[in-house]
Each structure stands twice: as structure tokens, then as C-alpha cells.
Structure 1
Amino acid sequence: MTGSLEPLWPAPTATDPVDAVVTVPGSKSATNRALVLAALADQPGFVRRPLRSRDSLLMADGLRAMGIGVEDTLNSSSGVSGGGDAWRVLPAPLNGPARVDVGNAGTVMRFLPPLAALATGPVHFDGDPRSHERPLGGVITALRGLGARIEDDGRGALPLTVHGTGGLVGGSVTVDASSSSQFVSALLLSGPRYQQGVEVRHVAAGSARGGADAGGARVGTVPSLPHIRMTVEMLRAAGARVDAPEDGGEPDVWRVAPGALLGRDLVVEPDLSNAAPFLAAALVTGGTVLIRDWPRHTSQPGDQLRELLTRMGGSCAFTEDGLRFTGSGSVHGLDADLHEVGELTPVIAAVAALADSPSRLSGIAHLRVHETDRLAALANELNGLGGDVTETADGLVIKPRPLHGGVFHTYEDHRLATAAAVIGLAVPGVQVENVGTTAKTLPDFPGLWSDLLDPTSTVKD
């Protein structure tokens, strides 16, 4: 548990069904991938409607530290729909010495060291205390196998220094990505600039692929595969040649050919995972929320919210403006494997705690090494409000009970804070510690949440 000097935030309680239109900021996952690909391109490019949050600002600052131009602009001279707020990215030779602050951003700590291997000179990486505990050994070991020199004093974790030599041979490498799909994406994103490209083969250490340990937890498989599919799609859109398992290729093997990347004019989709608390608000209050610009076809894991929350009692439909989600007035438990969409777990768990029947959430043992141990944190905090939540080897069993108010600790984890806000809709007296941690991916969440519940300030249909 972490303390905070920030005052406790009283989570608003809904007195009526919500009825709101919400504009969710851009996708963190897409923004940070787009920035890396734009930095490695042969021509300048634009990243439009980017997420401007702590994680994406750390990514932009990390690229600037290595010599890439990342300029703020409101110019929409290209005529591309969705102009306005944008970053113009100006590729340049990558240089050290440089220092990169990764904060507690998984994408920054994992995506930038493979890029730093292309720099001339040393690039030092460090971040928040929690970043030192998060898995990074897979990326470090793989980069060494591809020819990079990295100093980490044997930790297999931050802090570390990449001693770039201006290029990297690349080639084939084996990585255990059981703890994070970002290990694979990190290597693929910079792969086109390696002399031989890169072939990434996932092999789980000491376990059979797809099996289970003695406690029933899944082992060996790569979590959050939709995020790797997003990486593959964005690489191809930038001109890279990529072979992936979903194209009929070898299971757990991804190949990126060496070649130039295009400078693009890219409009970032709304972050669908960050839509989770707003859709949950419609479900919990029996109301309606429309999320603007929800794409009909997307690789974002958050798109699975449509199916998951419908199973829990809601309904959804596409409109000309986006996705409309409506609660039925009842909330049901569910049995769901969230292995591919683990980031949705906190809000799903919060809704499950308010349901009329038990839930079992499985396939998410990897959440123990995210921003915090999310399984332990959810169990502790929901139980602290009177809930009945039990950890399993790879997930949670949630048996609904009447909840009461109290302090909900967030462990400096943005998704714990949004889960607490969902609980507060139905449970008076919930006070959220460090709600400001939501700035990691969802700037001004308290303001957005207040607007959701205030009919005088929420945009109506």
C-alpha cells in the first residue's frame, strides 16, 4: 500500500441513471507505438489526437532526449480528418549520452531500449521505484542476443544503460513473453531498422506452452495478444513487412524484415480501455452512455468491453456518433477468461462486486507484475469495503455482498482508481486515495467523472 499527500477524493454517488455523451482521449497504446514508429521513419510525420498523459509525455520526452524532434502543433494543413491537436515528429540520428525517465510506464521502459540500441552513445534508463520491480529481463536478454551492449548490474531490471553503436545486427532471438506481450512488441517496433530485421520467438522458460501450474494458473502463453496484433498492424501501415501467427504463420513467432518506414499522418483512436469506467457507469446505474468515435473495426483490446459488459446485463449499439451502451437496471456476474484483456480486470471486478451473482475472472496471473499486484490490490480494497473476493492462482472469485464506504487505496495504479470510482456510484462514502494517478492515461479523470453525473455540464443526446 502506498500513501499520498493528495487529499482523499470523495467518489460521487449516482442518484439517477447516467445519460451522457463522453469523448475519451486517445489510445495510450496507439499513441506510444505511433511515436516510436514515427521516430524511426525516413520522413517527418504527424501523430494526431494523441493521448497527452504522463505515459505518453514520458515517451515523447524520451525520444527528445535521444535527438528526435517531437513538436506540439495545432496545424491541420494536411487536410487529414482529425487534425487539430497533434505532435509533429521529426526523425533524426539517435544520439547519446542521454537520460530517459520511464516513470512507471511499461511501454516506455520496454519500447525505448531497443530503439536506444540504434543510438550513437550511452542511453541511461531509470524511473519510479515501482519500475525497478517490473519485468524487463526478457527485453534485456533478447537485445543482448541481437548484439546490444547493456549494463544492468545483473538485475534484469531498471536502472540500466544501453551503449548504442549506431546500429544493430538483429536476426533471430528467443524471448519468454509470458509476463508481458510488450516484450514482443518492443523488439518488433525497432526491428525494421536492424540490419537483418528481427525474428522473435516466444518460448516460455521451464514450462510447456499453454499448460497450467500446480495451482491451476495458465503458464507459457503470451498475455494481451491484441496488443501484439496492434503492433503488427501499425508496423504494416508504416510500410514494414511482418509475418505473424494470425496470418497462418508459425505459432508464437513474429518476423519483421529490414526496411524503411514511412512518415505518416496518423489519427489516434479513442482509448477503448479507458472507456471502461464510463460504460460501467451506464451498467451500474441503469443509464446510457455514448462513447464518441468508437471504431467499428479495431485491434484495441478494449473493444471486448462490448461483449463483456453486455454479458453483465447491458446492451450496446453503434450509432453515427459512436457506441451507445445502456444498462438494464440489473447487473449479473460472469465467468470470463481475461487473459487477452487483463487491463480491463479492475473495472470488471468492480462491477462484479455490485452484481446479483458470483463471478470468476481467470487467465490474469500476469496482473501481479503490472503497475502494482492488481489481484492482491483488488481483493484487499474490495474486501475492505465489505466485499467477498478471493484470489485464485490466476484470477479472482467475487461473491457479491453489501458494500459500505471507506478508503480505497490505489497503489499508484490508475486502473485501481477508476475501479474505485465505479464502486462509488452505488456505494456512498467511498474515498479514493491519490485519484491523481489516473493522469497516467486519463487526464482530468475527476472532471470527466463529475461531468458524467452532472446534468448541467454533461453533453446530452
Structure 2
Amino acid sequence: MSILTGIEATGTQSDPWPAPTAQRPVTAVVPVPGAKSGTNRALVLATLANGTSRLRGALRSRDTLLMAGVLRALGAEISTDGPDWIVRPAPTTRLAAGARAECGNAGTVARFTPALATLREGDVAFDGDARMRDRPLTPLLGALRRLGADIDGDRMPFTVRGRGRLPGGEVTVDASDSSQLVSGLLLAAPRYDAGVTVVHRGTRLPSGPYLDMTVADLRAAGAVVDVAPPGADGSRRWRVEPGELTAADRAIEPDMNSAAAFLAAALATGGRVVVPDWPEATEQPGRMLPTLLAAMGATTERTAAGLAVSGGGGIHGIDVDLGDFGEAAPVLTALAVLADSPSRLRGIGHLRLQETDRLVALAQELGSLGARITVTDDGLAIEPAPLRGARLDPRADHRLAMAYAVVGLVVPGIVIDDIATTGKTVPDFPRMWTAMLAG
């Protein structure tokens, strides 16, 4: 008997996509592609470096190709044809007339590149998908103005009128909606005349590990970065000194966020999934996945083959603050609707401002299966309930589409619209999912 129902074993992508139901526990080794967050940070730093850089294992996906496209518009030379990407900084600060930065719905692209545009001579018109016009950018653009930038507009579309330099200095920003607002100021800071001191003052700072990743990548490139301890009022402070960045040959880590759905498949089906090359130490927030999955009933272990996650003892509810790892919320919600006890996911109010309002979308779409999900002030509350098949819309959100596929392993009759949206971070997700099920 085939392990698959609802899809051909060849992994043909269709729209809508019938999510395959597992007929027995999944047992598979699943290599995952390079990290989007690592690839895009590496691309930005390579364009600021003192020579040619090589990125090994770079993720080739919609978001990273958008980043490469914007950096080319800013004058960099980037070859993405092979498995190793080659990056050469712009030979001159002067831009061609009519430069445009098309950011799609990629938050890292929209928030990491405006500071780079201030270091060029000429105007750069920034725009993106309709949803990007609603996502947080105003605090970043305001901060860049206070550091000496000339920018028309407070959100997309806007124009950066580059002068070939940015004075820099100290600036305060409220990054309560996205830590990328701080990373967008820090990454280009070694090229500011006076470097930069960024102070965050706000209700909280979500996704803190991504800022740790930004700091680690800057230091690896040769930047001098000082991070002050959190203030008593919750404020945070970073200082980046002006200086030269060093070109490098860099390997991109596997994307732990993208591994989440595949590892969750082991728990959902009572099987075992191994992800090779799981880093021993990393700044990626995905390092929290083994602990989170174990809390829901999985067994996790590091083996010579990689990180192994096994199920078989049922799926249990969880009560957890995901403020540092909101990217896990969709997959954990998928497991929670299959669990034998209630779950509460906290600290993720900022997910309302992602590719879509993830909290409302999860509650409404999974609610159409019969799931009982309540949107709270800072997250989701999930109660066990009988589930049935239905057609689900990921609302152009890659993480939601992958989460729905996890539920589809257990609940027959789930059909997912626009499965191609997974290409934002996981190229060829339907084929990879089918290959996992085939073992």
C-alpha cells in the first residue's frame, strides 16, 4: 500500500494542492536548504566588504533572489547561477538613473536595504507587494532620517535620495513590531561616517535571537560591535564602530525554521525524521525547536546523521512564550490542533504584521476544519476538537502553507491553495514533502 493519498508519488505541484495523508509513520532523512536569514545577512555584508565573497549553500528562494535583485540595483555584482553565490561590491557609489528596489513581500529585503541606498549617489525608488505597504517600516525610515538620510515617504512606496554617505550617530527607535528594524540600521553601520548607536525603547523586542545573529555576522565580517545589557526599563543598546568589512568564503547554515514542518511530521505521524547538518551551536532561533517539540511529546536526539525527532507517544498541548521564536507558531499551532490537551501560545502579537495577520489566519482557516482557536491579546489559545477536511488559503504566507501540510498528514481531505507560496523560503516544497513521505 502506498504511503500517500491525495497526491501522486512524483510530487506534482497543483493549485489547489491536495495535502497528502500519511498511511503509516513517516521515516525519512530530510536535508533542508540554507537559511533565508543567514543568506540575506551574508549578501548585505558581502556588498559592503573590501573584496569578492563566496557564499556556499546559499538559499535560492523568492526572498533571497529579491535581495540579490535589490543589491544589484544598488550596484553590486552577484552571481546566483551555481550552488556557490559570488558577490562583488559596487565598483562606484554612483547609481544609474531610475534605480528601483523591488522588495516583494520580503521583510528582510525591505528593512535591510534602505540604509545601503543612502550610501549610494542617486535616487532609489522602493516598492513591494500590496501587503508590504502595511508592514512596519516607518520607525526605520524615521531613524535613518535622524542619522542624516534624505528619504521621501514613511512607508512603501518611498524614495531614498542617496548622497554617497550617511553621517550616522545615535538614534532611538521603537522596534516593538519587528527586530528587523534594528538589524536594518546595524548591518550597514560600519560604513556610516560615525558608525551608529541604536537604542530600542518600546513595549518589548520580538525575535531577539535574530538580532544576536546580526551582531554575530557583523563581528565575523570584522566589525566592532558593543551590546549593552538590557536596561531596567527594557531598553536595549547596540554600538557599531565605523570600519572596513572583510570579504569572506562563508557557508550558510541549514534553515532551522524551514526544518520545523518536516520535524513536526515525525510527531504528527508517530514516526522519525532526521535533519542532517544541524548546527552544534547557532544564533538561529530554530535552535529552540527540539525543546518545543519535546514538550509536545516528541523524543529528540543528536546523532551522527543529524538531529532526529521521533513521535509515537501522542501529541500534547503546550503553554509557551514564543516571543523569541514567533516563526514556530504556525507549525506548533498545527500540532496543537492535533493534540490531546489545550495549548496556549503567547508573546506573538507581532505576528499580526507578518506576510499576513498570522493569528487571525490560523484561527479562521484551521477553524474551518473544526479547530477551536481563540485569538488572544498576545497569541492563540487552542482547545482539542474533532477535525474534518476543508480547503485552506495560506493567504500568501509560506509558514501557514507548510503548517497546513502538517495537519493534512493526519486529517484527510485538506486542500491547500497557492502551495507555491512556500517557495518564499523552501524551494520545491511539494516535492520535498512527498519525498519525505515516501521515505
1:90 equivalent to 2:88? Answer yes
Partner of 1:380: 364
Q: Within 5 A, what are the aligned runs for 1:25-174?
A: 25-72=33-80, 74=82, 85-92=83-90, 93-96=92-95, 97=97, 98-152=99-153, 156-174=154-172
Instruction: Note if contact 2:209-2:284 (Cα within 8 Å) is conserved in structure 1.
Output: yes
Aligned AA (2:181) = F
Instruction: Note if contact 1:285-1:329 (Cα within 8 Å) is conserved in structure 2.
Output: no
Whole-Å Cα distance in 1 between the matches of residues 88 and 281 of structure 2?
Answer: 29
Structure 2 counterpart SS, 1:164 = strand
> Shift of the alpha carbon at 1:171?
0.5
Instruction: Note if contact 1:277-1:422 (Cα within 8 Å) is conserved in structure 2.
Output: yes
Deviations 1:212-249 (A, max 9, x none): xxxxxxxx111000000000000000000001135999
Instruction: Note if contact 2:352-2:360 (Cα within 8 Å) is conserved in structure 1.
Output: yes
Structure 1 counterpart SS, 2:166 = coil
Q: Quick one: percent identity of the two aligned structures?
A: 54
> Shift of the alpha carbon at 1:7?
2.0
> Shift of the alpha carbon at 1:149?
0.4
Aligned AA (2:140) = V
CA RMSD of aligned residues (A): 1.4
Structure 1 counterpart SS, 2:20 = coil
- Choose the corresponding residue for 1:407, options 383, 391, 397: 391
Q: Within 5 A, what are the aligned runs for 1:7-26?
A: 7-26=15-34
Instruction: Note if contact 1:280-1:347 (Cα within 8 Å) is conserved in structure 2.
Output: yes
Aligned AA (1:314) = A
Instruction: Note if contact 1:68-1:94 (Cα within 8 Å) is conserved in structure 2.
Output: no
Partner of 1:245: 228
Partner of 2:10: none
Structure 2 counterpart SS, 1:174 = strand
Deviations 1:99-140 (A, max 9, x none): 011000000000000110101100111011111111100110
Partner of 2:180: 182
> Shift of the alpha carbon at 1:328?
2.7
Structure 1 counterpart SS, 2:325 = helix
Aligned AA (1:266) = R
Deviations 1:157-198 (A, max 9, x none): 101110000001001001110000000001000000000000
Structure 2 CA distance for partners of 1:258 and 1:449, relative to 1, 3 Å: same
Instruction: Note if contact 1:172-1:199 (Cα within 8 Å) is conserved in structure 2.
Output: yes
Whole-Å Cα distance in 1 between the matches of residues 251 and 368 of structure 2?
Answer: 42
Partner of 2:8: none
Instruction: Note if contact 2:139-2:181 (Cα within 8 Å) is conserved in structure 1.
Output: yes
Unmatched 5+ residue regions in structure 1? 1-5, 75-84, 205-219, 456-461
Aligned AA (1:88) = I
Deviations 1:360-408 (A, max 9, x none): 0000000001100000000001111001000100000000111100011
Whole-Å Cα distance in 2 between the matches of residues 307 and 328 of structure 1?
Answer: 17
Whole-Å Cα distance in 1 between the matches of residues 185 and 325 of structure 2?
Answer: 21
Whole-Å Cα distance in 2 between the matches of residues 94 and 62 of structure 1?
Answer: 15
Structure 2 counterpart SS, 1:46 = strand
Aligned AA (1:231) = T
Q: Within 5 A, what are the aligned runs for 1:262-411?
A: 262-411=246-395
Aligned AA (1:114) = A
Instruction: Note if contact 1:284-1:329 (Cα within 8 Å) is conserved in structure 2.
Output: no
Instruction: Note if contact 2:230-2:236 (Cα within 8 Å) is conserved in structure 1.
Output: no
Unmatched 5+ residue regions in structure 2? 1-13
Instruction: Note if contact 1:245-1:251 (Cα within 8 Å) is conserved in structure 2.
Output: no
Whole-Å Cα distance in 2 between the matches of residues 381 and 95 of structure 1?
Answer: 48
> Shift of the alpha carbon at 1:313?
0.3
Deviations 1:323-382 (A, max 9, x none): 111113300000000000001100000000000000000000000011000000000011
Whole-Å Cα distance in 2 between the matches of residues 403 and 247 of structure 1?
Answer: 44
Structure 1 counterpart SS, 2:43 = helix
Q: Judge which range, 104-113 or 319-328, deviates more.
A: 319-328
Structure 1 counterpart SS, 2:262 = helix
Q: Within 5 A, what are the aligned runs for 1:215-226?
A: 220-226=203-209
Partner of 2:214: 231
Q: Within 5 A, what are the aligned runs for 1:188-227?
A: 188-204=186-202, 220-227=203-210
Whole-Å Cα distance in 2 between the matches of residues 86 and 251 of structure 1?
Answer: 39
Instruction: Note if contact 2:179-2:207 (Cα within 8 Å) is conserved in structure 1.
Output: yes
Whole-Å Cα distance in 2 between the matches of residues 25 and 8 of structure 1?
Answer: 24
Runs of 4+ with deviation above 4 angstroms: 246-251
